[in-house]
Amino acid sequence: MRFSNAEFAAVFQEVADLLEIDGANSFRVRAYRNAAETISDLGRSLSDMIDAGEDPATLPGIGKDLAKRIEQLAATGTYPDLDRLRSEINPSLRDLLQIPGLGPKKVRKLRDDLGIESLDDLQAAVAAGKLARLEGFGVKSQEKIAAELETGRTKKSRRKWADAEEIAISFESVVRAVEGVERVDVAGSYRRHRETIGDLDILAAAETSAAAIDAFIDHDRVAQVTNEGETRAAVVLRDGMVVDLRVVPPESYGAALLYFTGSKEHNILLRQRAIEREWKLNEYGLYDKNDVVIAGREEADIYTALDLPYIAPELRENWGEVLAADANALPNLITLSDIRGDIHAHTTWSDGKASIEEMARRAIELGYEYIAVTDHSPRLAMTFGLDPDKLRRQAEELREVQSRLPEITILHGNEVDILRNGDLDQPDDVLAELDIVIVSVHSFFDLPREVQTARVIAALENPYVRVLGHPQGRILTQREGISLDLEAVFEAARDNNVALEINADPHRLDLDDRSVKFARDIGCKFVINTDAHRPSGYDLMRHGIYQARRGWLEASDVLNTLPIEDFRAALRPRVGR
Ligand code: DGT
Ligand code: CA
Ligand code: CA
Ligand code: ZN
C-alpha cells in the first residue's frame, strides 16, 4: 500500500501526541511535529520521492534517524514505535487533546485521577460533575469542556476541504483511467468548495459502468465497501472518509452533475422552476410533459433551458443565487488571476521560516506586483515579535532587498496584536512609519461578546490601521473562534475604511463564507491573504479565492486585485497627510 502525505503526517502527529501524553521530552515531541508539518506542506508525494530513490533527510526538519523510519514505514506500512506507544497508551486519549484547554498534562491527570481514557469517559465524568472537584479544573472549566463536547460531536465527522483534496484527486484519476470512462468530476460539497466536506461524491460518464466500479472499489485506500450496485458504489477509506461513486450514461452527465453537486436546496429551486414550465428535472435530464428530453448532456444547457445564466457551483447554496440569476444580477466572481499581491506574510524576523528575500522571490515567481512583510508585534513572545527597534532594522533589510528586486514592490507592515483593552501593541509613531498595519486578536479568545466586540472596534478606530486580520480568530474544525457581534465589527471596519481579511490558510479560512457575503452586502472591502510563514505558503491563495467566491465577491470588492498605485491609494490615507 502507498501512503499519501497526509497519512505519513498523521502517523507522526499520532506519535507526537502519544509521546506528549506520555510525558516525553519536548524536543522529541517537536521533532515529530515538525516532520509532520514538513510532509504536509511538501507539495509533492513523499512516496514518489522515496520510489525515485531520494533521501527524505534532504527535507527541512527531517534528520537521518527519522528519514530511515520514513523509508521503513513506506516499505512495510508499519511503524514499530507507534505500535509500542499504542500498546502503552490508549490511543483514544488523543481525542481528548482536540478539546480546547486540554493539553497533555491535563489529559494525563484525567487518566491518572479519574481513569478517563476516551471522550465517552470524559462525557460521563462531566455529567457526574467529577471535574468540578478535580485539582486544576473546577466548575468553570467543567462547563467549558461540556460545551466543547457538545459542539465537537457535530463537527467531528466533517473534514477541511484541503484535507480532502488529495483523496478526491486520487479517486478522480483512478476512475478517469478506466477504459470507456468519458468524463469524471468530484461533485457534492467538494465542487461547491465548502470549507468542510462530509463525504466525496465522484461522478463518471460511461456507456457501461462495471469497469469504473471495479477500479473504484479496488483503490488501495479503501478499507470497506459499503455499497456495490449496478451504477453506484460507496466505500469507507482507512482514515474513515466516505466516498461515493455514480456512473451515468454520457447523455445524462450534465443533469447528474447538477444533481450531485447540489446543494439539495439549490436543486429543489431548479426543480420548481422546471415544474412551473410543466417540465420535469431529475438526475437523468430535463424533460417536457411528453417525457421528451430537453437537456441533460451539459449542465449549462439545463440552466439555459430554464432561462437562467450559468450559476457557479460556489453559489449553489440557496442564498439568493437563483433570484439573482433570474434578474441577471449574479456577481462576476473573483478568480485567482485577479490577485496582484499578497499583503500578510511572516519571515524569520518573527516566526516565519524564510528571509524577506526568499519570500519576495517566490512572490515574483507567482507573478505578483507587490507583497507586504508583516511580522508579529512584540507581545507575542513565542513568535519573537518585533519591537520598534527591530522593526527599524527590518526596514533597512527590506530596503536593501528591494534595491536588488525592482520587479516587485515590497511593502513594510506589521501584524500588530490587539491588546486585551483594545490598544495596539505598537506606539502610534511606529505605526505611522509603516505601509500597512494589520491588527489581529491572538490572545484572550474567551472574552464575553460585548467586551470582545468593543476591544476589536477600539482597535479599528486607531487611525493607522488598514486591515483586520483573521477576524473570527477561528481554527477550522478545532477552535470555534472569538465571540463577536460581527455586524457591529463590520460596520466599524467599513466606517473606518479598514479592509477585512479573508485569511486563505486552509486551516483558518477566516472569515467564513456567510460572513463574507454579509460584509459585502453592507459595503465592506476585503483583502485576501495567505498569512504565509514560508515561500510555499503563498501558493495557498486559491483557498482564499474559493472562500471569497462562496461569499459572492467580485474583484472590485478586493483591494489586492488593484495595481500597486491604486492599491496604495485605496488604503486608508495616513493621518496628517
Ligand atoms: P456533504 O457531503 O455533507 O459535505 O454535502 P453534500 O452537498 O456533498 O451532500 P451529499 O454528499 O449528501 O449529497 C451530494 C449531493 O446530492 C447534494 O449536494 C445534492 C444531492 N442530493 C442528495 N440527496 C438529495 C435529495 O434528497 N434531494 C435532492 N434534490 N438532492 C439530493
Ligand atoms: Ca458529499
Ligand atoms: Ca454523498
Ligand atoms: Zn500573520
| Other CB atoms within 10 A of residue 240 CB | 9
Q: In this structure, which topology does domain 257-326 adopt according to CATH?
A: Beta Polymerase; domain 3 (3.30.210)
* Buried-state track 505-525, b at ≥16 Cβ within 10 A, e below 16: bbbbbbbbbebbbbbbeeebb
Spell out the alpha helix ranges (H) of 370-485. 388-404, 428-431, 449-460
Q: Quick count: other Cβ atoms within 10 Å of Cβ 396?
A: 9
Q: In the predicted model, what is the mean pLDDT of the chain?
A: 93
pLDDT (average), residues 82-106: 85
Answer yes or no: is the C-beta of 197 below 6 A from any ligand 1 atom: yes
Which residue has a Cα nearest atom 25 of ligand 1? Answer: 264
- Angle among Cα 19, 24, 30 to the nearest 5 degrees reads 75
* Average pLDDT estimate for 420-425: 96
Contact assessment for residue 328 and residue 550, using Cβ atoms and an 8 Å cutoff: no
How close is the Cα of 201 to the center of ligand 2, in Å? Answer: 5
Is 336-570 in the same CATH topology as 159-248? no
Sheet of 280-282: strands edge to edge? 280-282, 285-287, 293-295
Contact present, 535 and 359 (Cβ < 8 Å): yes
Nearest protein CA to atom 22 of ligand 1, as residue: 264
pLDDT tens digits along 366-402? 999 999 999 999 987 667 889 999 999 999 999 999 9
The pLDDT value given to residue 381: 64
Q: Which residue would you say has higher pLDDT here, 440 or 124?
A: 440
For the chain, domain boundaries? 5-151, 159-248, 257-326, 336-570
C-alpha 278 chain-centroid distance: 42
What integer pLDDT is reported at residue 576 of this predicted model? Answer: 46
Q: What sign does the CA torsion over 137, 17, 479, 127 have? A: negative
Which atom of ligand 1 is nearest to 259's Cα? 20
Q: What is the mean pLDDT of residues 205-228?
A: 95
Q: Would you say the CB of residue 259 lies under 6 angstroms from ligand 1? A: yes
Q: Is 198 in the pocket of ligand 1 (CB under 6 A)?
A: yes
The rounded distance, in Å, linking the Cα atoms of 494 and 516 is 13
Separation in Å, CA 506 to CA 240, 291, 543: 20, 45, 6
Give φ, ψ of 541 to 5 degrees: -50, -40
Classify domain 159-248 by CATH number: 3.30.460.10
Greater model confidence, 402 or 149: 402
Of 227, 244, 264, 283, the one to substitute when testing ligand 1's pocket (max ligand atoms within 8 A of C-beta) is 264
Measured from the Cβ of residue 300, the count of other Cβ atoms closer than 10 Å reads 15
What is the 439 CA–ligand 3 centroid distance (Å)? Answer: 40
Answer positive or negative: Cα dihedral of 170, 171, 174, 177: negative
Architecture in CATH for domain 5-151: Orthogonal Bundle (1.10)
pLDDT at 573: 57
199 lines ligand 1 (CB under 6 A): yes
Check residue 386 and report its DSSP letter.
P
456: its cell numbers: 476589536
| CATH class of the domain at 336-570 | alpha beta
Q: Which three cell numbers stand for residue 156?
A: 467531528
